[in-house]
Amino acid sequence: MKTPLVSIIIPTYNREHLIGETLDSILAQTYTNWECIVVDDGSTDNTMALLEAYCKKDTRFQYHHRPKDLPRGGNAARNYGFEVSKGAYINWFDSDDIMLKEFIEKKMQLLHSEHIKAIICSGFLTDPKLNILRPTAYFNEGNLFKAFTLRKSDVLTPSILFKRTALNSRELFNVNLTDAQETDFFHRFLFNLKADEYVYVDDKLFLYRKHDNSIGSDKIGSYNFKNRFSQSYVEYENLKRVITIGDRDMIHFIYKALLNLLFLAMDNEDKNTYNFILKGIRKYYKDIGVFKYGLLICYLKVVLSIHIRSYRLEKLIRKR
């Protein structure tokens, strides 16, 4: 088996208490030709001292600080990590997740064609203490973009090993997003990915730790204005993609997701998100084409009208 260099890119922020486990799991890899680039997004704990110790222990580790001229956040750190990396293959990873021993090797074994741009693997979702909750789901139907859009397949940050040349000419992580940034990136990457350009390995090769206080945890509970706007932006951008291919299942699914975000925004008086979604939906009616999807358009307009009127009536009742 050929052993090209694999770049593992990890953004981190105040994860001194967790990142050691992640780095130990990288040290334990059966595939040894890797570099691990950790980009610190401004930690205030002892992350620096910990990383300096790992860099002394093994020169394959690199420790970088996000340049001050780049915006704060994991997205800029991920993009910067790619800039300084040298590997022919790239695997972004999170600073609290765990690679099982054959995480890299099993993927690299499947690079049997020059056309392959990505290797996708399964893993386990765990609680904060790494107790397994369930395996990640994978369902293809011959169209991975559709399965991912309909949320039938879990494609997570550790899942994909990318061929570097497949990333060189594309936008990576959107630095303006505070949530759903990986979803946004994967939608864009998978959209034009042909069936012979990726391979799936069903082996469970990583542990993906879910936290109660993670960025996305506000989806249940407190309302985060920036995160909700980011989620709405990602859904609407994907709606524009699926309109171009005219897939009714995906159009309907995303439309319902946008409606949910719309009414959450209305409930929380988030005018920025509310106006963004409403403007997008109205433009959507024009883009989709009334002659091509006349009945669907009528149905969606009726659904929107009923929901908005019901919402306004409910607010009036509450005020009384």
Query: Is residue 192 located within the same domain as residue 234?
Result: no
DSSP 216: G
- Return left, alpha or beta for 73; rule: phi > 0 is left, psi -120 to 50 is alpha, else beta: left
Specify if 302 maps to a domain. yes
Residue 217: the pLDDT is 43
What is the pLDDT confidence band of residue 279, given thresholds at 50, 70 and 90? confident
**Residue at a domain's end among 173, 189, 211:** 211
Q: How far is CA 287 from the centre of its chain?
A: 26
What is the pLDDT confidence band of residue 287, given thresholds at 50, 70 and 90? low
Span 80-85, mean pLDDT?
98
Residue 132: the pLDDT is 96
Query: Is residue 23 located within the same domain as residue 135?
Result: yes
H/E element, 108: helix 103-108
Torsion of CA 55, 57, 58, 62, to 10 degrees: -10
pLDDT at 60 over 50: yes
Q: 44 forms bridges with which residues in the sheet?
A: none
What's the domain count of the chain?
2
Residue 314: the pLDDT is 54
What is the pLDDT confidence band of residue 283, given thresholds at 50, 70 and 90? confident
Query: Is residue 243 located within the same domain as residue 102?
Result: no
Span 157-172, mean pLDDT?
95
Query: Is residue 66 located within the same domain as residue 136?
Result: yes
Specify if 231 maps to a domain. yes
Query: Is residue 160 located within the same domain as residue 301?
Result: no
Specify if 170 maps to a domain. yes
Taking the alpha carbons of 60, 63, 68, 71 in that order, is the dihedral positive or negative? positive
Residue 138: the pLDDT is 85
- State the residue range of the domain holding 34: 6-211
**Residue at a domain's end among 191, 211, 231:** 211
Residue 218: the pLDDT is 47
Query: Is residue 180 located within the same domain as residue 227?
Result: no
Specify if 315 maps to a domain. yes
Query: Is residue 289 located within the same domain as residue 150?
Result: no
Specify if 1 maps to a domain. no
pTM of the full predicted structure?
0.88
Query: Is residue 172 located within the same domain as residue 280?
Result: no
Which string of b and e fits 266-292 if b means at least 16 CB within 10 Å?
Answer: beeebeebbebbbebbeebeeebeeee
Specify if 243 maps to a domain. yes
What is the pLDDT confidence band of residue 290, given thresholds at 50, 70 and 90? very low
Specify if 112 maps to a domain. yes
Span 44-70, mean pLDDT?
97
What is the pLDDT confidence band of residue 162, given thresholds at 50, 70 and 90? very high
Query: Is residue 23 located within the same domain as residue 69?
Result: yes
pLDDT digits (tens, 9 = 90+) for 214-253: 444 444 458 999 999 999 999 999 999 998 888 889 988 9
Distance between CA atoms of 115 and 159, rounded to whole angstroms? 19
Residue 68: the pLDDT is 93
**Residue at a domain's end among 189, 211, 233:** 211
HSE (CB half, 13 Å, CA atoms) of 211?
10
Distance between CA atoms of 172 and 206, rounded to whole angstroms? 23
Q: What is the mean pLDDT of the chain?
A: 88
Evaluate whether 106 touches 30 at the Cβ level (below 8 Å): no
Query: Is residue 52 located within the same domain as residue 170?
Result: yes
Span 281-292, mean pLDDT?
61
Instruction: Residue 44: give its domain's CATH number.
Output: 3.90.550.10
pLDDT at 168 over 50: yes
Query: Is residue 226 located within the same domain as residue 294?
Result: yes
Query: Is residue 118 located within the same domain as residue 35?
Result: yes
Span 172-185, mean pLDDT?
96
Place of tokens 């293959």: 89
Among 37-41, 209-213, 251-255, 285-289, the least confident range:
285-289
What is the pLDDT confidence band of residue 263, given thresholds at 50, 70 and 90? confident
